[in-house]
Amino acid sequence: MRSLIESNGPAYTILKRKVHISVDPTNFLSLLRQCANFRDLNQIHGHMVPRGLDRCNLLLSKFIETSSILGFTGYGYSVFVRKTDPDVYLYNTMIKGFAQTSSAQEAVILYNKIQVLGFKPDTYSFPFVLKAVVSLAQVEIGREIHGQAINIGLDSDIHIVTGLIQMYSVCGFISDARKLFDGVLTRDVVLWNAMIAGYAKVGEMDSARELFELMPVRNVISWTAVIAGYAQTNQSNEAIMIFRRMQLADVEPDEIAMLAVLSACADLGALELGEWIHDYIEKHGMCKIVPLTNALIDMYVKSGSIEKAMRVFEKMKHRSVITWTTVIAGLALHGRGREALEIFSFMEKARVKPNEVTFIGVLSACSHVGLVEMGRWYFSIMSSRYHITPKIEHFGCMVDLLGRASLLQEALELVQSMPFVANEAIWGSLLAASRVHGDVDVGQCALRHLTELEPHNSGNYTLLSNIYAASGMWQEVGEVRKTMRDKGVKKMPGGSSIELNNRVHEFISGDKSHPHLERIYKVLSEIKDQLKMAGYCPDEFRWPLE
C-alpha cells in the first residue's frame, strides 16, 4: 500500500516540484484531511519542516488537531512544544486535544500557561478546558475557571455557560448549574440539553422532565437525554413511554437512544419493542456497532429469548469482551451452563481476555448445572492464570454453587474465611440453600446476620419459617412470627409485569385497580383448572402470618 505522500494527486505533484510550497499550505491541509495513520502523519510532518510550514500557526494547529483525532496526541504535543511563538489559537487546539483524551490534567496546565504568558483565554479556551474539568470532576478548578470567565467578561457567552452547566452537573452541584441556566435569556437547544442531561446525571428526573416539556425546540439529543435518564434511574416504563413519543414525533433515534431503550426493554422484558429496535438496527445498517449488538443480546437474554440472543451473537464478526460475557451469563441464566462454559472455551481460543464479570458468568454457569469441581477450578485460575483477584461477587457465586450442591458446611466455612465482610446477598444465598436442603443450623446462622444487614426484609423470615415448617418445628415458626411482629416487619407484596400490544402492564399483589381485573382473574382461574387437569400439584404450604 502506497503512502499518502506517494500518491499521484495534485499535492504530490507540488511536493515533487517544490514550487512555492512554503507560501501555500492548502495542499498540506488537503493531505491532513486524508491522513489515516501514524505513518501518514509522520510523512506530512517530515515535509512540513524543511519547507517552513511548521512556522504557520494555522497549519500547525490543523496538524495537532489531526494528531489528536487519530489518537496521537502525544506526538502532536511534541511538535507543539517546539513552536517558539505559539498563539492562543494554537494553545486552544492543544488544550482541546488533551481534553478529549485521558490527559485532562495536561489540558488544565496548558490553559493556566496561557495566562502566565500574558495571553487572554477566549471563547474557545473556556469550553475546551471545561471539558477537561468534566473529566477530572474537580469543581474547585471549575469554579476558578468560572471566576476567570467573569473577570474577562465572557461569562454570558452561551458556549461557556453550556460548558459550566456540564461541569457543575458532573461534579454534583446541580443547583449552581440551574442558576446559570436561569440567568441566560436567549437559550439554544444545546443549552437546554445540557441542563436536562445534568438533571438526568444526578437522577433528578422530575426536574429533567419538567424542562423537557418546556423546551421550545427539541432534537434527538433532547429525547435521548430523557430516555437515558429514566433508564439509568430504573424508571423503565417512563423511558419506553418517552421513546414512543419520540417515534410519534418522527425523530430518528440515534445509537445512544437505542442503547438506553434496549436497557429499559431488558429490564421490563418488553420483547416486542426490543424486536422492533432489532429490525430498525438491521434496516439502517447499524449491526456493526458492537455496543448495540451487545445490548440486543442482553435484551433477548433478559426477555427470555436465548435462541434469538445466540443468533445475534453468531452473526457478529467483531466481538468484545462484553459480547462474550453477556452470552456466557445469559446461557447460565437460562440453565445452559455447559454451553456457557463451551462459549468461554471459544473465548479463550479467540484470545479475548476475560474480565471480572466474565468469571461471575462462568461460576454462575457451574452453579446452575452443579459442576462443583469445575467451579473450584475456574475460581482458582482467576488469579493464577488471569491475575484477577476474586471479589465478593465471585465468593458469592462459589457460596451459591456449594449451597446448591448441599455442601452447606463448606459454603459456611468459605464465607467465614473471606477477606471481606459477607453482604446480604451471600447470607441470603446460604439461607435459601438451607431452606432447600433443610439445614436448620446454617439457616439460623444466616438469618442472624441478615437481620443485622436488612432488618426489615420479610423474605428472610419467610425462608427461615419455611425451614422450620418443613422440619415440623412449629414452635419456632411461631417465634419467627412473634419476632416479626415485635420488630414491625411486614411482608412485602410481590409484583410482576407483562408486555401486551407494545405496552407493559404491572401488577402488585393485592392491587385491584386494573380496569380489566375481572377478566384477568377469570383467565387465571381457567389456567389453574387446566394445570390441575394436567396433574400439577401445587405446594400448599402458606406463610404463617396469612
- Report pLDDT digits (tens) over 238-249: 999 999 999 999
282 with 352, same domain: the answer is no
**Residue 330 belongs to what domain range?**
323-374
**pLDDT: is 359 or 455 the higher one?**
359
User: Is residue 382 in some structural domain?
Assistant: no
Cα gap 184→282, rounded to integer Å? 42
284 with 368, same domain: the answer is no
CATH number reported for the structural domain that contains residue 298 in this entry: 1.25.40
Residue 508 DSSP code: E
User: Is residue 303 in some structural domain?
Assistant: yes
User: Is residue 532 in some structural domain?
Assistant: no
Beta strands in 403-510, from DSSP E residues, in sequence order: 495-500, 503-508
Distances from the Cα of 228 to the Cα of 130, 199, 281, 298, 365, angstroms: 23, 11, 18, 17, 31
Q: Count other C-beta atoms under 10 Å from residue 441's C-beta.
A: 11
301 with 333, same domain: the answer is no
307 with 246, same domain: the answer is yes
Residue 8 φ then ψ, to 5°: -100, 20
340 with 272, same domain: the answer is no
Note the pLDDT of residue 45.
80
Burial of 453 (0-12, 13-18, 19+ CB in 10 A): middle
Tell me which residue has cell 465471585: 394
190-199, 281-290, 488-497: least confident range: 488-497
Residue 521 has pLDDT above 80, yes or no: no
User: Is residue 176 in some structural domain?
Assistant: no
Note the pLDDT of residue 383.
92
User: Is residue 249 in some structural domain?
Assistant: yes
DSSP 3-state assignment of 383? Answer: helix
Residue 137 has pLDDT above 50, yes or no: yes
- By the 8 A CB rule, do 375 and 401 touch? yes
356 with 309, same domain: the answer is no
Note the pLDDT of residue 208.
96
User: Is residue 287 in some structural domain?
Assistant: yes
Residue 53 DSSP code: G
Burial of 18 (0-12, 13-18, 19+ CB in 10 A): exposed
263 with 307, same domain: the answer is yes
pLDDT tens string 99-125: 988 888 999 999 999 888 888 899 999
Q: Using alpha carbons only, how large is the chain's radius of gyration in Å?
A: 30
- By the 8 A CB rule, do 277 and 289 touch? no
| Bridge partners for 266 per DSSP | none
Label residue 522 by pLDDT band (50, 70, 90): confident
User: Is residue 19 in some structural domain?
Assistant: no
Domain boundary (374, 395, 413) is at: 374
Distances from the Cα of 223 to the Cα of 229, 237, 273, 531, angstroms: 10, 15, 17, 45
228 with 292, same domain: the answer is yes
pTM for this predicted structure: 0.72
70-79, 144-153, 310-319, 444-453: least confident range: 444-453
Cα gap 170→328, rounded to integer Å? 34
User: Is residue 437 in some structural domain?
Assistant: no
- By the 8 A CB rule, do 76 and 94 touch? yes
- By the 8 A CB rule, do 265 and 299 touch? yes
Domain boundary (292, 318, 344) is at: 318
Cα gap 300→540, rounded to integer Å? 34
Residue 496 φ then ψ, to 5°: -155, 165
Note the pLDDT of residue 542.
42
Label residue 350 by pLDDT band (50, 70, 90): very high
Residue 494 has pLDDT above 70, yes or no: no
Cell of 398: 462459589
Domain boundary (275, 297, 318) is at: 318
Note the pLDDT of residue 443.
79
311 with 330, same domain: the answer is no
- By the 8 A CB rule, do 222 and 215 touch? yes
Cα gap 330→354, rounded to integer Å? 16
Cα gap 501→117, rounded to integer Å? 65
Give the total number of structural domains in the chain: 2
314 with 327, same domain: the answer is no
List the one residue out of 268, 269, 265 whose CA is nearest residue 292. Answer: 265
283 with 334, same domain: the answer is no
Chain CA centroid to CA 272, Å = 23
Distances from the Cα of 166 to the Cα of 121, 132, 173, angstroms: 19, 11, 10
267 with 358, same domain: the answer is no
Residues composing the chain: 546
